[in-house]
Amino acid sequence: MKKNSKIYIAGHKGMVGSAIVRRLEENGYTNIIYRTSAELDLRNQADVEKFFKEEKPEYVFLAAAKVGGIHANNSYPAEFIYDNLMIEANIINSSYKNSVKKLLFLGSSCIYPKFSHQPIKEEYLLTGSLEETNEAYAIAKITGIELCKFYRRQYGCNFISAMPTNLYGINDNFNLETSHVMPALIRKFHEAKINNSKEVIMWGTGKPRREFMYVDDLADSLIHLMLNYSDEIHVNLGIGEDIEIGELANLIKEIVGYEGKIVNDLSKPDGTPRKLLDVTRLNLTGFRYKVELKDGIKRVYEWFLNNEDIKK
């Protein structure tokens, strides 16, 4: 992938896609293309095929997806499986038909079994039942991995897959109906502080453990893989450390400066008990993360404070 190679970022408006664009531009890549969802509906096969035929991208980062937290996944499973299947199938097939040199498909750690051995190795895929609350999304992402694998086997396509852990960073989704745990807690504690609320309600027991990777580290790892990795098996992306959700809540509470108490809503689901990725394969390629959790949360909260529109 050269500095003037034509690179298509699918999902460039999202947290991950926008981070990839920033990093590529910072690294001197000058021929980056993208379309908003209003300009190109990635669920529409004919439109995607027309776009690829006209633009002929050489490299593709497939970061477009319908995403959300437990509430959104539970409430709209049909949309989550349909939209994600269509997006990935259209882009992967069009990449093959238009001789894309390399494609990187971005999945999710929710593809692994609910009660997987920890830390989770890439080989544990399809060895057990999925977490019920995001099963539809997980099945769609597993299909994306398999598409890349079988297009690679049958057609010789240089299509690779990467599975990131839980992500956070600037341009995250702070909508309490659809957000993931990190931005939801940041917004809850911030609003509780502003409104002088005596307590903040947190879903579940706070006992599940999660791993969090700052989105700029994620973008760096994806570019690193595009330049240095080419194999059939997908690669876990993470930092190799996790934290209890309850501990995370207290850390965010401290950073925000909220002085009330945390109340657990035990009627709400916990989700998967633990999701810690084994990142040995990633580390063997020569990549290591840089941003520690506390510093990353401080960056996100500062960005949140300076972007009034995301709090509406």
Residue 107 annotated as part of some ligand binding site:
yes
Residue 234 annotated as part of some ligand binding site:
no
**Residue 243: beta bridge partners?**
210
Residue 144 annotated as part of some ligand binding site:
no
Residue 141 annotated as part of some ligand binding site:
yes
Active site residue 29: no
Residue 117 annotated as part of some ligand binding site:
no
Closest CA to 70 of 141, 6, 134: 134
Residue 71 annotated as part of some ligand binding site:
no
Residue 311 annotated as part of some ligand binding site:
no
Residue 210 annotated as part of some ligand binding site:
yes
Residue 60 annotated as part of some ligand binding site:
no
**Residue 213: beta bridge partners?**
167
DSSP states of 203-262: ES-S--EE-EEEHHHHHHHHHHHHHH---SS-EEES-S--EEHHHHHHHHHHHHT--SEE
Q: Which of 96, 137, 229, 289 is catalytic?
A: 137
Residue 77 annotated as part of some ligand binding site:
no
- CA torsion sign, 85 to 87 to 90 to 96? negative
Q: In what order do the strands lie in the sheet with 235-237?
A: 32-33, 7-10, 59-62, 102-106, 159-164, 235-237
Residue 222 annotated as part of some ligand binding site:
no
CB atoms within 10 A of CB 307: 12
Closest CA to 41 of 82, 101, 70, 99: 82
By the 8 A CB rule, do 226 and 24 touch?
Answer: no
Residue 11 annotated as part of some ligand binding site:
yes
Q: Which residues are annotated as a binding site for substrate?
A: 188, 203, 210, 270
Active-site annotation, residues? 137
Annotated binding site: 11-17, 106-109, 141, 164-167, 180, 188, 203, 210, 270
Binding residues for NADP(+): 11-17, 106-109, 141, 164-167, 180
